[in-house]
Amino acid sequence: MAKRIYYLPTSNPTAEITCEVAMKSQAYNTSTAKLKRSSSSVTIARSGENGEEVGSGSINQVAIGAAQDIQGAKLIFAHSLDLGYCTDEDWMLILRASTKDEYEDKREEYMGFVKEEKWEEVFEILRLSIFYSFDGGLDGFQRFEFDYDDVFDHSDDGLVIVIAKAVQLIYT
Amino acid sequence: MIFQNLKHYLSFIFFAPGLIFAQETKEIDLSGLKPPTSPGFTILDIAPNSIEHPKTIKEFTISTANLFNRGFEIPKNFAFELSPGWMLNNTFSQITGLKKKGDRLKQNIFSDIRFSSISIASVYNDTSNTTMLASNTNHIGYGFKVNLIKVFNRPRISAIENYINLIHKETTGVLDEVDPNELPAGVANEIRNGTKDAWKKVIALRSIRPLFQLQIAGASATAFPENKGGKFHRGGGWLTAGMSFPLLKCKDEHYSKKLLNNSKYFNLVLLGRFMTSSFDSIYLEHRQSLLDIGGRVELELNRLLIGIEYISRSGNNDFVSTHRFAGMIEYRMFNNVFVVGSFGRNFGEYNNIISGLGLNWGFGKQSIYKPLNFN
């Protein structure tokens, strides 16, 4: 897991820190954002519950808290990419297969990529993008992308992939 | 078991004489008026051996550049089919046409337009051995096909929404517990196992014929003798509209469950085809247009299927208008045994009686009178 840090402003301990997730893929995406402190954790947002499109995985801008209150905490984003909804026609579209034979070959290839954990190839097919935007901190607006080593788990049949990213919130 | 075998034998003995007539019923079919998969090829009467399907902007650019690698001469012998929607980054809501933003799941009835297809083909005929294509002539055909509208009824959307809500709840419940610093402990399998059944229901609900569907297609072809100057034009247009009403009460609280097991439908299909040509079968100047308009009404009641169809054919110049009117009744005795009866009149004035009663003895659950499939 690639380490990400968002620096909080030392000069303004009451500054409100916000975050936002913009996610896109051909799967049915779901995301949650959780603030984890040493002794407790609280879910601060779930995609689709604050006016976002269900299945998009995006989370609209949400307040994490005042800088002084979240110092040392970690923000954990968890995402699932679910292809359980796909009919054969949907699969053909996702895999860009024009014929049944091409579809069968490409689906087998896709499943092979998942099992071998070739995430670059998998996410190229799913056309995945995730951007995490933070604001209110020392450097103001800052944007991170997901990394291939953020992949946390995948189901045995390859239809569900879980990605997890942690962002450390600290003073310099 | 013995009784079942006996039923098979008896039905064979009674209906064996009708087997030959049963074949005739395959002609009573409106599917000939349906928009072709690739109108650009159909208009040329060709079935290309290899079709290029560019699926990215890059592939499209390369394919197009290859067509003109001999300067601006009209390209010869190619078949090209593309759906611009494939080149875009699609999402769940764009692929399924289902979007939930706020309280209610909504269907974008025009969502399939995104996946319309364009087909272009060129055939160069350098011999005079065939009557299908003019000799020493390059024929270019181009066409499009659009699934314009697809409508699910509100109870079905609500049923899908209930399953999506379940999936969301199940998935977020598992994701809430994820911590990247701990071992995964099968969270993806947990999500998959918790949502698998609901997704199966969503797939099944999406796969049932929509309440209303409209598909249009068009194509045109031009011949270029000696690869110069367009001559001999041919064009066509297709329209298919289908309505399928499940014979269920919409307000039933178990609607989704009943819909998934339902085998009672009232179907209405309307089809139209327009063809125009500036030449005849031996490539002499002759303008002719032909219009087919037809429809079919079907009633599916479990094992029984009753259908009536009508097609009117009219044309200009010396074409004598005609029509076809046919009825069909089919009863599924067993999974693979159908009793089929047909009656009516075919096009033309002579030998146009359609009548038959027979037994269709097939493999699997194949009926010969299938409700029109739009895809």
CB contact under 8 A, B192 and A34: no
Nearest-Cα distance to chain B for A62, in Å, is 16
CA distances from B82 to B69, B114, B118, B201, B206 (A): 20, 12, 5, 31, 25
- B89 Cβ under 8 Å from any chain A Cβ: yes
Runs of H (alpha helix) within chain A = 67-70, 88-95, 100-115, 119-126
| Residue B25 pLDDT level (bands cut at 50, 70, 90) | very low
Interface test with A, best of B192, B200, B205 (most A CBs within 10 A): B192
What's the CA gap between A80 and A109, in Å, rounded? 21
Mean pLDDT computed over B287-295: 90
SS3 B86: helix
How many CB contacts within 8 angstroms connect chain A with chain B?
Answer: 140
Give yes or no for a contact between A19 and A61, defined as CB atoms under 8 angstroms apart: yes
CB contact under 8 A, B81 and A98: yes
CB contact under 8 A, B172 and A32: yes
Q: Which residue of A has its CA nearest to B93?
A: A55
Comparing CA positions, the residue from A85, A44, A37, A61 lying closest to residue A134 is A61
CB contact under 8 A, A46 and B101: no
Looking at beta carbons, which residues of chain B come within 8 Å of A1?
180
Give yes or no for a contact between B121 and B78, defined as CB atoms under 8 angstroms apart: yes
Residue B18: what pLDDT? 42
CB contact under 8 A, B95 and A80: no
Shortest CB distance from A87 goes to which of B172, B184, B207? B207
Nearest-Cα distance to chain B for A73, in Å, is 13
SS3 A3: coil
Higher per-residue pLDDT: B283 or B149: B149
Q: Report the length, in residues, of chain B.
A: 375
What's the CA gap between B46 and B55, in Å, rounded? 23
Interface test with B, best of A80, A91, A111, A165 (most B CBs within 10 A): A80
- Taking only the tens place, the pLDDT of each residue in B246-277 is 998 766 678 888 888 888 999 999 999 999 98
Residue B130: what pLDDT? 59
Mean pLDDT computed over A12-32: 96
Q: Which residue of B has its CA nearest to A78?
A: B175
Looking at beta carbons, which residues of chain B come within 8 Å of A79?
175
Does the ipTM exceed 0.85?
yes
pTM of the model: 0.83
Answer whether residue B213 shows pLDDT above 50. Answer: yes
CB contact under 8 A, B171 and A85: no
CB contact under 8 A, B206 and A162: no
SS3 B20: helix
CB contact under 8 A, B192 and A25: no
Residue B122: what pLDDT? 87
Answer whether residue A106 shows pLDDT above 90. Answer: yes
Looking at beta carbons, which residues of chain A come within 8 Å of B102?
51
CB-side exposure of B95: number of CA atoms within 13 Å?
29
Give yes or no for a contact between A131 and A57, defined as CB atoms under 8 angstroms apart: no
